[in-house]
Amino acid sequence: MKKVITEFIGTFFLVMGAALGGGIGAALALMVMIYAGGHISGAHYNPAVSLAVWIRGKLSIGDMLGYWMSQFAGAILAAIVVANIFGVEGASNCAVPADGMIKALIAEFVGTFALAYVVLNVATAKGTAGNSFYGIAIAGTVLAMATVIGKFSGGAYNPAVAIGLIIQKTFCLSQIWIYVAGCLSGAALAAFVFRMNNPEDK
Protein backbone atom coordinates (compact mmCIF):
# COMPACT_ATOMS: atom_id res chain seq x y z
CA MET A 1 0.00 0.00 0.00
CA LYS A 2 2.78 2.45 0.85
CA LYS A 3 4.33 1.67 -2.56
CA VAL A 4 1.10 2.57 -4.29
CA ILE A 5 0.85 5.85 -2.38
CA THR A 6 4.45 6.68 -3.19
CA GLU A 7 3.98 6.01 -6.93
CA PHE A 8 0.79 8.08 -6.86
CA ILE A 9 2.43 11.11 -5.21
CA GLY A 10 5.53 10.95 -7.39
CA THR A 11 3.64 10.66 -10.67
CA PHE A 12 1.31 13.47 -9.59
CA PHE A 13 4.24 15.87 -9.17
CA LEU A 14 6.00 14.61 -12.32
CA VAL A 15 2.95 15.28 -14.48
CA MET A 16 2.29 18.64 -12.80
CA GLY A 17 5.92 19.51 -13.51
CA ALA A 18 5.61 18.46 -17.16
CA ALA A 19 2.33 20.31 -17.71
CA LEU A 20 3.38 23.57 -16.02
CA GLY A 21 7.17 23.53 -16.39
CA GLY A 22 8.02 21.59 -19.56
CA GLY A 23 11.17 19.48 -19.71
CA ILE A 24 12.92 21.35 -16.89
CA GLY A 25 9.87 21.26 -14.64
CA ALA A 26 9.39 17.56 -15.30
CA ALA A 27 13.05 16.71 -14.72
CA LEU A 28 13.26 18.67 -11.47
CA ALA A 29 10.04 17.17 -10.12
CA LEU A 30 11.16 13.69 -11.15
CA MET A 31 14.57 14.07 -9.50
CA VAL A 32 13.22 15.13 -6.13
CA MET A 33 10.44 12.53 -6.13
CA ILE A 34 12.94 9.78 -7.01
CA TYR A 35 15.08 10.73 -4.03
CA ALA A 36 12.01 10.97 -1.79
CA GLY A 37 10.37 7.71 -2.87
CA GLY A 38 13.18 5.44 -4.10
CA HIS A 39 13.62 3.74 -0.75
CA ILE A 40 9.92 2.83 -0.63
CA SER A 41 8.72 1.91 -4.14
CA GLY A 42 11.80 2.18 -6.33
CA ALA A 43 10.36 5.45 -7.63
CA HIS A 44 9.35 4.49 -11.18
CA TYR A 45 6.53 6.99 -11.77
CA ASN A 46 6.45 5.62 -15.33
CA PRO A 47 4.64 2.52 -16.68
CA ALA A 48 7.41 1.94 -19.24
CA VAL A 49 10.03 1.89 -16.48
CA SER A 50 7.91 -0.51 -14.44
CA LEU A 51 7.71 -2.75 -17.53
CA ALA A 52 11.51 -2.69 -17.87
CA VAL A 53 12.00 -3.50 -14.19
CA TRP A 54 9.53 -6.40 -14.54
CA ILE A 55 11.41 -7.80 -17.59
CA ARG A 56 14.68 -7.34 -15.69
CA GLY A 57 13.18 -9.46 -12.91
CA LYS A 58 12.94 -7.02 -10.01
CA LEU A 59 9.13 -6.54 -9.97
CA SER A 60 6.32 -9.09 -9.96
CA ILE A 61 3.62 -8.79 -12.61
CA GLY A 62 1.05 -8.12 -9.90
CA ASP A 63 3.12 -5.27 -8.51
CA MET A 64 3.64 -3.94 -12.03
CA LEU A 65 -0.10 -3.73 -12.61
CA GLY A 66 -0.58 -2.04 -9.23
CA TYR A 67 2.15 0.47 -10.09
CA TRP A 68 0.54 1.16 -13.46
CA MET A 69 -2.84 1.92 -11.93
CA SER A 70 -1.29 4.16 -9.31
CA GLN A 71 0.80 5.99 -11.92
CA PHE A 72 -2.18 6.62 -14.19
CA ALA A 73 -4.27 7.79 -11.22
CA GLY A 74 -1.56 10.26 -10.18
CA ALA A 75 -1.25 11.52 -13.75
CA ILE A 76 -4.99 12.01 -14.11
CA LEU A 77 -5.29 13.90 -10.82
CA ALA A 78 -2.37 16.14 -11.79
CA ALA A 79 -4.01 16.94 -15.12
CA ILE A 80 -7.27 17.81 -13.37
CA VAL A 81 -5.53 20.05 -10.83
CA VAL A 82 -3.49 21.82 -13.50
CA ALA A 83 -6.47 22.36 -15.81
CA ASN A 84 -9.20 23.11 -13.30
CA ILE A 85 -7.52 24.61 -10.25
CA PHE A 86 -4.54 26.40 -11.78
CA GLY A 87 -6.46 26.97 -15.03
CA VAL A 88 -3.68 26.02 -17.44
CA GLU A 89 -4.70 24.00 -20.49
CA GLY A 90 -2.95 23.24 -23.76
CA ALA A 91 -4.24 24.46 -27.11
CA SER A 92 -5.82 21.11 -28.02
CA ASN A 93 -3.47 20.84 -30.99
CA CYS A 94 -1.65 17.54 -31.40
CA ALA A 95 2.01 17.71 -30.34
CA VAL A 96 3.22 15.93 -33.48
CA PRO A 97 2.64 17.27 -37.02
CA ALA A 98 0.99 14.89 -39.50
CA ASP A 99 4.22 14.28 -41.41
CA GLY A 100 6.30 13.80 -38.26
CA MET A 101 4.82 10.55 -36.94
CA ILE A 102 7.82 8.36 -37.71
CA LYS A 103 10.27 10.82 -36.21
CA ALA A 104 8.08 11.07 -33.11
CA LEU A 105 7.80 7.31 -32.75
CA ILE A 106 11.57 6.88 -33.08
CA ALA A 107 12.20 9.77 -30.70
CA GLU A 108 9.98 8.23 -28.01
CA PHE A 109 11.59 4.83 -28.65
CA VAL A 110 15.15 6.19 -28.40
CA GLY A 111 14.39 8.45 -25.43
CA THR A 112 12.62 5.76 -23.42
CA PHE A 113 15.38 3.26 -24.27
CA ALA A 114 17.90 5.71 -22.77
CA LEU A 115 15.70 6.30 -19.73
CA ALA A 116 15.10 2.63 -18.94
CA TYR A 117 18.76 1.76 -19.68
CA VAL A 118 19.87 4.36 -17.14
CA VAL A 119 17.25 3.35 -14.55
CA LEU A 120 18.18 -0.34 -14.70
CA ASN A 121 21.89 0.41 -14.40
CA VAL A 122 21.81 3.06 -11.68
CA ALA A 123 18.88 1.83 -9.56
CA THR A 124 18.77 -1.97 -9.90
CA ALA A 125 22.33 -3.15 -10.73
CA LYS A 126 24.66 -4.72 -8.18
CA GLY A 127 27.58 -2.73 -9.56
CA THR A 128 26.08 0.61 -8.56
CA ALA A 129 24.39 -0.36 -5.28
CA GLY A 130 24.37 2.28 -2.56
CA ASN A 131 25.12 5.23 -4.85
CA SER A 132 23.78 8.76 -4.29
CA PHE A 133 23.54 9.72 -7.98
CA TYR A 134 20.52 7.72 -9.16
CA GLY A 135 18.04 10.61 -9.04
CA ILE A 136 20.36 12.97 -10.89
CA ALA A 137 21.11 10.30 -13.51
CA ILE A 138 17.49 9.32 -14.15
CA ALA A 139 16.05 12.83 -14.17
CA GLY A 140 19.11 13.95 -16.15
CA THR A 141 18.16 11.45 -18.84
CA VAL A 142 14.67 12.93 -19.15
CA LEU A 143 16.18 16.41 -19.37
CA ALA A 144 18.82 15.26 -21.88
CA MET A 145 16.27 13.61 -24.13
CA ALA A 146 13.85 16.56 -23.82
CA THR A 147 16.70 18.91 -24.76
CA VAL A 148 18.06 16.82 -27.60
CA ILE A 149 15.01 15.21 -29.26
CA GLY A 150 12.04 16.60 -27.32
CA LYS A 151 10.82 18.70 -30.21
CA PHE A 152 10.08 15.65 -32.36
CA SER A 153 7.47 14.09 -30.04
CA GLY A 154 6.80 16.49 -27.18
CA GLY A 155 9.22 14.50 -25.05
CA ALA A 156 7.13 12.27 -22.79
CA TYR A 157 9.13 8.99 -22.62
CA ASN A 158 6.38 7.94 -20.22
CA PRO A 159 2.82 6.76 -21.05
CA ALA A 160 1.45 8.20 -17.80
CA VAL A 161 2.85 11.63 -18.64
CA ALA A 162 1.31 11.27 -22.11
CA ILE A 163 -2.11 10.47 -20.62
CA GLY A 164 -1.83 13.43 -18.27
CA LEU A 165 -0.90 15.81 -21.08
CA ILE A 166 -3.76 14.47 -23.23
CA ILE A 167 -6.26 15.24 -20.47
CA GLN A 168 -4.65 18.65 -19.94
CA LYS A 169 -4.85 19.17 -23.77
CA THR A 170 -1.15 19.61 -24.53
CA PHE A 171 -1.12 16.28 -26.39
CA CYS A 172 -4.09 14.75 -28.29
CA LEU A 173 -5.79 11.40 -27.86
CA SER A 174 -5.38 10.33 -31.50
CA GLN A 175 -1.60 10.25 -31.06
CA ILE A 176 -1.52 8.19 -27.89
CA TRP A 177 -0.27 5.16 -29.86
CA ILE A 178 3.06 6.96 -30.37
CA TYR A 179 3.68 7.02 -26.62
CA VAL A 180 2.36 3.52 -25.94
CA ALA A 181 4.26 1.84 -28.77
CA GLY A 182 7.41 3.97 -28.63
CA CYS A 183 7.84 3.99 -24.85
CA LEU A 184 7.02 0.35 -24.17
CA SER A 185 9.23 -0.98 -26.99
CA GLY A 186 12.15 1.27 -26.01
CA ALA A 187 11.89 0.20 -22.37
CA ALA A 188 11.66 -3.47 -23.33
CA LEU A 189 14.78 -3.26 -25.50
CA ALA A 190 16.68 -1.61 -22.65
CA ALA A 191 15.69 -4.45 -20.34
CA PHE A 192 16.95 -7.05 -22.83
CA VAL A 193 20.26 -5.17 -23.26
CA PHE A 194 20.62 -5.03 -19.48
CA ARG A 195 20.02 -8.77 -19.14
CA MET A 196 22.52 -9.49 -21.92
CA ASN A 197 25.17 -7.21 -20.38
CA ASN A 198 24.61 -8.35 -16.79
CA PRO A 199 23.88 -12.09 -17.00
CA GLU A 200 25.13 -12.72 -13.45
CA ASP A 201 23.03 -9.92 -11.88
CA LYS A 202 19.57 -11.35 -11.18
Binding site for a second copy (CB under 8 A): 2, 5-6, 9, 13, 16-17, 20-21, 24-25, 28-29, 31-33, 35-40, 81, 85-87, 103, 106-107, 110, 114, 117-118, 121-122, 125, 127-128, 131-138, 140-141, 143-144, 147-149, 152, 193, 196-198
Nearer to a second copy, 174 or 197 (CB): 197
Burial call 51-74: b when 16+ CB within 10 Å, e when fewer: bbbbbbeebeeebbebbbebbbbb
Nearer to a second copy, 121 or 158 (CB): 121
Nearer to a second copy, 147 or 173 (CB): 147
Residue 146 contacts residue 155 (beta carbons within 8 Å): yes
Nearer to a second copy, 93 or 147 (CB): 147
What is the smallest separation between the CB atom of 122 and a second copy, expressed in angstroms?
5
Establish how many alpha carbons lie within 13 A of residue 150's alpha carbon, considering only the half-sphere containing its beta carbon.
17
Closest CA to 156 of 9, 58, 30, 63: 30
CA angle 178, 17, 129 (to 5 degrees): 85
